[in-house]
Structure 1
């Protein structure tokens, strides 16, 4: 088993310190045997960046992901899907630190690359629109968020079973957009749909399902409070 594979196992186990150690060993070998612009170096940089991200070391994560992006831009065609890994990783960091404008910019780069790929991955497209919608919500641009989440839902409906948990994600996010717009009636409807699907596809104690239920309760409360203002 390679150092990368061992690192991936530890990362999956959330033992990020050990994962980082093995990813660094893999990088050291590659740096000795590969030219500085080889795409495999970018893969190592990306792995290390993701571990730092998971350890909440966002400045360090950004440095590694930017190093990976430089190599990929210099060694790969502009529509290569490996570029989306770097764009998405950098966007995630900016999203996490609250720089939503930059997060949106990199997420749009993911979308553009996917759209120009000869074999666009529909699942990736859906997640890209999903991420854009979440960023727009953070920026209080709820109409744009709603549009993005609807596109994600449309893609998912064409490729997934009707009780797939990703559909629940989309319905919940659409509900969040409606809630942000003050349309509590439609928000309630979407949260209920998300819960209905999630109950079929997730354990009852799953955090996503619990979040959907919490969102429904908040929307119910907000609708009630809004109704009271008219009396």
Structure 2
């Protein structure tokens, strides 16, 4: 809003403000942050985020409702307030509001460095809304001007490849990554200013990292490690992107059952994330979840539980209540208590692995979903009669992976 209007609002803190039009809001804080867009770079405008608390018991309250099912973009989780709605203004304490760090991080690393369409695609990807993220990425790609098409097209195609990966289309993702590498290598032969050349080298490192992930899913660990090393050689030192490489190397060593090395790389990622990201960033939760998983695997249940609880606390702050990552961390916490007190083939273990598998299936992480469904099936074969409904349900869940992931299983 314009700075004069913002100052007027600040002068009326504690007063009743009436809204003279329909008032569109969202249940998703990250969607709201994207619309603030850092004032769109205009010096006379301020980005303002309203955190609205509604008294549903007030008899004088104006009508409002969830119009998500009627909205063109359903992932905005839109709540619409009627004309004449009134609010009491309170000024947030910047020293205490937890959202402040996320706002600053979003402004610095997304809004100020990318176009609005790509920034929105990034937010939607992080929210797990891959279809919408693809829509805005492809919309941006279709509007590129010829003079800048090569580099931005390469980066955007890489982002679309990442969406293919998240949706389980690994061969499609690999094709886009390899095309991106070829384009980047060709562009490196063009004489450019040193900073632009370094930026393209950094982008090439991101592609190498993505290719390494595909090799992990294909169980080609030596090839994966080779590409991760290339990524480390290309990505800027101490850049937040390098934490993804560390995390992926940790995953690789987990698959090889080399848990000490997996811990070392996970902790490298966590150290840099803690120095770079706001304390309630979802990426920190993801790393705590992975470290907890390693401790869980080697039997360090108390350490694993502590990591899971930290991840749960961050996720509850940063994500919507129905985000699948919350289900995953809750299920892992449940598995800790089961592992500490229930026999190896107890039926409840099969149920927990099925639940974890369903959460990963919702995240389109078909590899981890399949691992958990197969564990559930192994336990069910031992602990249940062969015609038990739970076995049929697990087979059905595995079939869903084959159906959704197309060529990959």
Cα deviation digits, residues 143-197 of structure 1 (max 9, x gap): 1111111111111111233333222212111111111222112111211222222
Partner of 1:229: none
| Shift in alpha-carbon separation, 1:45–1:13, aligned structure 2, 3 A | closer
How far apart are the structure 1 equivalents of 2:142 and 2:287? 39
| Shift in alpha-carbon separation, 1:183–1:47, aligned structure 2, 3 A | closer
Partner of 1:182: 299
* 1:62 equivalenced with 2:179 (yes/no): no
In 1, are the aligned partners of 2:316 and 2:326 still within 8 Å (CA)?
yes
* 1:222 equivalenced with 2:339 (yes/no): yes
Of stretches 14-23 and 163-172 in structure 1, the one that deviates more from structure 2 is 14-23
In 2, are the aligned partners of 1:65 and 1:86 still within 8 Å (CA)?
yes
* Of 78, 84, 99, the match for 2:220: 99
* Of 224, 228, 234, the match for 1:113: 234
What TM-score, normalized to structure 1?
0.72
How far apart are the structure 1 equivalents of 2:137 and 2:319? 31
* 1:143 equivalenced with 2:260 (yes/no): yes
Of stretches 173-182 and 45-54 in structure 1, the one that deviates more from structure 2 is 45-54
Cα deviation digits, residues 74-109 of structure 1 (max 9, x gap): 432688112123212212322333333322322222
* Of 227, 241, 248, the match for 1:124: 241
| Shift in alpha-carbon separation, 1:87–1:214, aligned structure 2, 3 A | same
* 1:46 equivalenced with 2:158 (yes/no): yes
How far apart are the structure 2 equivalents of 1:102 and 1:156? 26
* Of 148, 151, 162, the match for 2:279: 162
Partner of 2:86: none
* 1:192 equivalenced with 2:304 (yes/no): no
Residue ranges of structure 2 left out of the alignment (5+ in a row): 1-116, 189-196, 344-409
| Shift in alpha-carbon separation, 1:90–1:156, aligned structure 2, 3 A | same
In 2, are the aligned partners of 1:46 and 1:68 still within 8 Å (CA)?
yes
Residue ranges of structure 1 left out of the alignment (5+ in a row): 227-231
The 5-angstrom pairing of residues 10-29 of structure 1 reads: 14=131
What RMSD, in angstroms, separates the aligned Cα atoms of the two structures? 3.7
How far apart are the structure 2 equivalents of 1:150 and 1:47? 26
Question: What secondary structure, in the 3-state scheme, does the structure 2 residue paired with 1:204 have?
Answer: coil
How far apart are the structure 2 equivalents of 1:20 and 1:164? 23
In 1, are the aligned partners of 2:205 and 2:233 still within 8 Å (CA)?
no
How far apart are the structure 1 equivalents of 2:263 and 2:157? 35
Q: Offset of 1:221 from its aligned partner? A: 1.4
The 5-angstrom pairing of residues 198-217 of structure 1 reads: 198-217=315-334
* Of 71, 75, 88, the match for 2:183: 71
Partner of 1:82: 203
Structure in which a larger fraction of residues adopt strand: 2
In 2, are the aligned partners of 1:23 and 1:48 still within 8 Å (CA)?
no
How far apart are the structure 2 equivalents of 1:17 and 1:203? 21
In 2, are the aligned partners of 1:172 and 1:190 still within 8 Å (CA)?
yes
